[in-house]
Amino acid sequence: PGCVPSPSGLTPCVTGSVRVLQYSVKIVICVITCSCFGHFSVNLDQCGTEGLKVTSSDPDFAVQTDGTVITTCSVVFSDRTVTMLNLFSNCVLWECFLLLKVPSNKVLKRYKRRWSPPPFSIKENQKPPFPKDIEVIASDSSQNYSVRYTISGPGVRERPYDVFSIDEYTGMLRVHKTLDREEFNNITVRASSTSTNAPTDLSLPVTVIVEDENDNAPEFSGLMQYTVMEHCNTGTLVGVVRATDKDDPSTPHAKIKYRLGSGTELFLINEKNGSITARTTTLDRERQDKYLVPVEIRDMEGHPSGLSQTGTATITLGDINDNPPTFKQPSYTAEVEENKANVLILRIPVEDKDLVNTDNWRTRFVITKGNETGNFRIDVDPKTNEGLLYVVKPLDYEETKSVELQLTAQNVAKLEGTTASWSSIPVTLNVKDVDEGPEFRPGNLYLLVKENVANGTVIGTYTATDPETKKSNGMRYYKRSDPASWINVVESTGQLKVANTIDRESSFVNNSMYNITVEAVDESKKTGTGTVIIQIEDINDNMPEIKSKELVLCEGSLESVRIEASDQDNPPFSAPFFYELGKGHDGKWKLEDIKDTSAVLKPAKDLPTGVYSVPVMVKDLQGFGKEQTVTVQICHCSNGACLAKRTSTSLGVGGVLAILMSTLLLLLLCLLFAFVCTTKKDKIHMDDTGDGMLLKSNTEGPGDEVVRSQKSQPLWLVVQQVWFDYDSRNMNTMNVPPGFPNNMYQKSSSNMVVTGTLGGYSTGNYRSIQEEAEFLEFASRSTLHTWMTNALYLDKKLMYFATEDSGRYADDIPLRYGYEGRGSLAGSVGCCSELGADEGLGFLDSLGPKFKTLAEICMEK
């Protein structure tokens, strides 16, 4: 309905002619040519009519089941092709092409023409002869003009070259070569029409479609090697077979179907995607570890007419530990000599069907019974997988004549995929008796001994016995090793006696342990050895020692130094230490921040540069210690070190000589004053640089407290220990040694001084605690004889004074005076001020204010 009726005078085409171009197994291509238009019918006998279903690819036409072709709407006819697709008959696919042509011997009335030919189609792989006609290209202007046709572009003068040509007068498009759709699936040429060398229409692209034919068999892609574990579950994916086809993927020519050639009882393949899966759970690597499965791929969805190819899929089974190791024998027996250690006594082979050199195959042996004493060890030979049974601790035939072991063989990997379990076997080891030497029991003897025990002390007895007789008759004992020679061994009894002092702090002792080795020799000259381990018990035989006794204190710093001590004893005979200033300290120093092993020494007041000796008492936790002297040098520092002292070289050669001459003259002057100044009635001012000061006083005699003695006696210089309470700093009661006059001691409110007397006359030699400590320190340096010489000299001088009048006595003897202020920095230059200064030329290193003025006078400006 609604279609334009056929023009008058034209006869409808009732039936068209059908010719079969190609017939294959399931595909028939029919070309129907009709030289009329309107509605017409087509004889489809050769295409098959049973169950025929016909559709048209051109929406302007419809095909009925009886072959009638009708128009579906208004159509202006021209030469055109109608392709009817999907012709199904008895489930067979047919494809027919309907070609409609306008009769050339008729003058037709044109309603409208367009310069737009439809795409043309040609088959690939056409056979000669060439050229072959494809289709006529007609221009609208050909109705009014005489036109000429030309083509250009791909297929003409561009790749692919020289494929197409056109008849310049009729517009017939021809092909000259065989085309391959897999190389060119379509080619678009450009058609032009001209009249008297002038274009009549715009150039038009004409597309020639190269239709596919099934000329390419499918091909495998990728390696066809797959692995799946043995005893896997049904449906487990083994691998995927990959294949491709070069034909048109939109046609059945490229639809591939997969099929297994054999092995279908074990494996399945998906016919559409090529995935291979396990069909059973009985795949056993130990039975067969590899399968070669043929695979066929065929296009046309597997139709027999399709092209095919066959390949081989290699399927390897992976190993799981489904086979436990098994022993080759049900039991084993071996023999081992007694007293043997670290020897191989048995090799035990096993079998394992799993993959060699994997954890499923490697065996791990376990001694599950009979090795409670740890005498045995079993290893594995990595090459043969055999068990290696060793004796690691000696066996004693007299105690054990045979040993029953049970061995179990396991794998490194756990069992899976099987119900089997690990295997075990018994192993009997017979101990072989041998003639043995003496044996110490125990092999290691432990003794506890205090250090410093007296020589000759018996600390224990170490004896050996014959393993066969269990007796010690005829044994002789000797030392094999005794690094410090501390122990003697009694040859006949094995007694251990102290030969030398045992010192726990010795370098031969390790962690308070000292070892000796004892050897026993029986009557048959066989020997045996044993070890005596002596645990040395510590005693408090070491005092704390100050590590560094020479300290440096820099001016302007924190003005303190730390004293560190150590004790070789162990607790409780060592730290924490107790620190306190020693007896006779001068009060210039104090101790602070006392910790376990250290204390801080700090000046109690501002001190000038110089070297100071400080007595320090250090005691351990048990109160065992001694007094030690620490030397502290106060100096100007640079980077923590004292700067070098200025020497006299800075004065020049003339200055040094001048100072030496002045010093000699001054010494002679002092000796002269010793004899001349006694006639002088004026008082001599003396400066005391110590803690005690000589003060002015109206008393010019020896004082009421000095008692004259009619009996001459030697000069006594007594140093009395004065104890100070550590917390309160109060002086305790002073004890006077027996045999000494009471008037030799005088006590002040702050310190103790010692007075020397001779013949009832006081020497006036008052010294503070610091001076007495310096005296003791000086005496400890073997210089006491110098002080004794000075004492004799003073004795003679006092005897001389005793023969003179009282005036001379008062002039030259230092007296006690009340404190009335600080004296001159230069000190006294009296006749007695430099007595006892036995310093040699050392004073040049630290010239004091006494000689500085003389040096400046003598030095050249």
Per-residue pLDDT of 728-751, as tens digits, reads 333 333 344 444 344 433 333 333
Q: Average pLDDT, stretch 796-804?
A: 60
Q: Average pLDDT, stretch 826-852?
A: 55
Compute the mean pLDDT over every residue in the chain, rounded to the nearest whole number: 75
CATH number of 1-112: 2.60.40
Q: When comparing pLDDT for 82 and 268, which is higher?
A: 268
Percent of the chain with pLDDT over 90: 39
Q: Average pLDDT, stretch 253-271?
A: 93
Q: Average pLDDT, stretch 699-724?
A: 39
Q: How far apart are CA 361 and CA 351, in angstroms?
A: 9
Q: Average pLDDT, stretch 115-129?
A: 85
Residues 549-572: pLDDT tens digits?
888 888 766 678 899 999 888 888
Query: CA of 707: how far to CAs of 711, 742, 760, 796, in Å?
Result: 12, 11, 6, 20
Q: How far apart are CA 581 and CA 584, in angstroms?
A: 9
Looking at the predicted structure, is the pLDDT value of residue 175 above 60?
yes
Residues 664-682: pLDDT tens digits?
788 877 777 665 544 444 4
Q: Domain map of the chain by residue range?
A: 1-112, 219-318, 326-432, 439-537, 545-642, 688-822
Count of CB atoms situated within 10 Å of the CB of 711:
6
**Predicted pLDDT of residue 542:** 87
Phi/psi at 581 (5° precision): -70, 140
Q: When comparing pLDDT for 215 and 845, which is higher?
A: 215
| Residue type, position 500, single letter | N
**Predicted pLDDT of residue 37:** 40
- In the chain, % helix, strand, coil (3-state, to 5) comes to 10, 35, 55
Flag the least confident range among 21-35, 233-247, 421-435, 584-598.
Answer: 21-35
**Predicted pLDDT of residue 701:** 46
Q: How far apart are CA 257 and CA 266, in angstroms?
A: 20
**Predicted pLDDT of residue 436:** 78
Q: Average pLDDT, stretch 232-256?
A: 94
Homologous superfamily of 219-318: Cadherins (2.60.40.60)
The model's confidence at residue 854, banded by pLDDT at 50, 70 and 90, is confident
Q: Average pLDDT, stretch 14-19?
A: 40
Looking at the predicted structure, is the pLDDT value of residue 49 above 70?
no
Q: How far apart are CA 663 and CA 831, in angstroms?
A: 14
Task: Name the most confidently modeled range: 42-51, 170-179, 464-473.
Answer: 170-179
Q: How far apart are CA 582 and CA 616, in angstroms?
A: 5
Query: CA of 852: how far to CAs of 499, 635, 652, 832, in Å?
Result: 66, 20, 15, 20
Output DSSP code: residue 401. Answer: S
Q: Do domains 219-318 and 326-432 have the same CATH topology?
A: yes
Q: When comparing pLDDT for 78 and 521, which is higher?
A: 521
Flag the least confident range among 25-29, 442-446, 827-831.
Answer: 25-29
Looking at the predicted structure, is the pLDDT value of residue 254 above 70?
yes
CATH number of 439-537: 2.60.40.60
Reduce the secondary structure of 25-73 to three states and give it as a string: CCCEEEEEEECCCCCEEECCHHHCCCCCECCCCCCCEEECCCCEEEECC
**Predicted pLDDT of residue 840:** 53
**Predicted pLDDT of residue 675:** 54
**Predicted pLDDT of residue 718:** 35
Nearest to 363 by CA among 307, 325, 393, 308: 325
**Predicted pLDDT of residue 706:** 40
**Predicted pLDDT of residue 319:** 95
| Residue type, position 665, single letter | L
Q: Average pLDDT, stretch 86-95?
A: 51
Q: How far apart are CA 80 and CA 57, in angstroms?
A: 13
Looking at the predicted structure, is the pLDDT value of residue 827 above 60?
no
The model's confidence at residue 846, banded by pLDDT at 50, 70 and 90, is low
Flag the least confident range among 79-93, 288-302, 452-466, 843-857.
Answer: 79-93
Looking at the predicted structure, is the pLDDT value of residue 642 above 90?
no
Q: Average pLDDT, stretch 583-595?
A: 86
Question: Is the CB of residue 359 less than 8 Å from the CB of residue 454?
Answer: no
**Predicted pLDDT of residue 641:** 78
Flag the least confident range among 100-114, 533-547, 640-654.
Answer: 100-114
3-state secondary structure of 540: coil
Q: When comparing pLDDT for 20 and 355, which is higher?
A: 355
Residues 452-502: pLDDT tens digits?
999 999 999 999 998 878 888 889 999 999 999 999 999 999 999 999 999
CATH architecture of 326-432: Sandwich (2.60)
Flag the least confident range among 245-249, 367-371, 439-443, 793-797.
Answer: 793-797
**Predicted pLDDT of residue 571:** 86
545-642: CATH topology is Immunoglobulin-like (2.60.40)
Query: CA of 658: how far to CAs of 95, 253, 457, 560, in Å?
Result: 143, 131, 72, 40
**Predicted pLDDT of residue 398:** 81
Q: State how beta strands 761-762 and 757-758 pair.
A: antiparallel
Looking at the predicted structure, is the pLDDT value of residue 646 above 60?
no
Q: When comparing pLDDT for 316 and 11, which is higher?
A: 316
